[in-house]
Amino acid sequence: MVAERFEKIAKAVDEEVVTRDLVPAFVKLLKDSEAEVRTAIASQIPGFCGLLDRETLLNDIMTSIEDLVSDPSQHVRAALGTQVSGLAPILGKDETQAHLLPMFLQMLKDEFPDVRLNIISKLDLVNQVIGIDLLSENLLPAITHLAEDKNWRVRLAIIQAVPKLAEQLGVKFFDEQLSSLCMSWLGDTVFSIREAAVENLKSLTEIFGVDWAQHAIIPKVIEMSQEANYLYRMTTCFAITVSQMLSLLIHANTLRNSHLSSLSRL
């Protein structure tokens, strides 16, 4: 109960009490023998640490937080995955790179899928601090690897994160690094992934524009209508029923006749 309300307690007292009494108590709760307590205090990490100066955070607390990455309880690691990204704005670029990026890389390889999911869902907070160059250099290879994760919910989380990443990476980087990956999801064995992949193409079109979609997406979607695997052909149908995809077909004047002829054979 104390762990669940730690941030509120800290806000109710002055800075001297926080530094003298609550920082040691916080560290003690991070090392508590009960996993439920460690899970509860993990949820308070960004809120409580935001009340501290950076030196106190780095010298007195950060090591104990880093230890939770290897916590024996998957629930503790999952709770940490949800909250640890919130430290990035507090630590700043250099300290985020030094302390948080190694934690993220380890947690993206965690055997428990919820840990991987939670880290992926909060990457935008990290990107705002360290910038897309460092994010792509350090984390993008691990994210790309997770796009083929055996757990479909992890693959879904990656798909849902792609539009934000694409907007920040830019069209050139996206075409070189992520375009093929996005198209491969259209043939996933799980329907929810194929459905999300179609919506992903719609979101990408909104970001990069109709002209980009005409040469980067539509030809590849049309090619899928000729695939032997019926899943690809069905996904083509799903894609063209999305209103924005239809409008793209209408505006693709130079490609429209040949494309519609292919679609008519579905």
Q: What is the mean pLDDT, run by run of 10 residues, along the chain of 266 residues?
A: 96 95 97 97 96 94 96 96 92 90 89 86 76 72 79 86 80 83 85 88 85 81 76 74 53 53 58
> What is the topology classification, in CATH, of domain 172-266?
Leucine-rich Repeat Variant (1.25.10)
Instruction: Give the number of other Cβ atoms within 10 Å of residue 94's Cβ.
Output: 10
Calpha distance 137→134 (Å, rounded): 5
For residue 196, what are the contacts with CB-CB under 8 A and spacing of at least 6?
A: 156, 159, 160, 185
Fold match between domain 1-146 and domain 172-266: yes
8 Å CB contact between 108 and 151: no
pTM over 0.75: no
8 Å CB contact between 236 and 259: no
Q: Which CATH architecture has domain 1-146?
A: Alpha Horseshoe (1.25)
Domain boundaries, the chain: 1-146, 172-266
Please report the pLDDT score of residue 73 as a whole number: 96
- How many Cα atoms within 13 Å fall on the side-chain side of residue 66? 16
- How many Cα atoms within 13 Å fall on the side-chain side of residue 250? 7
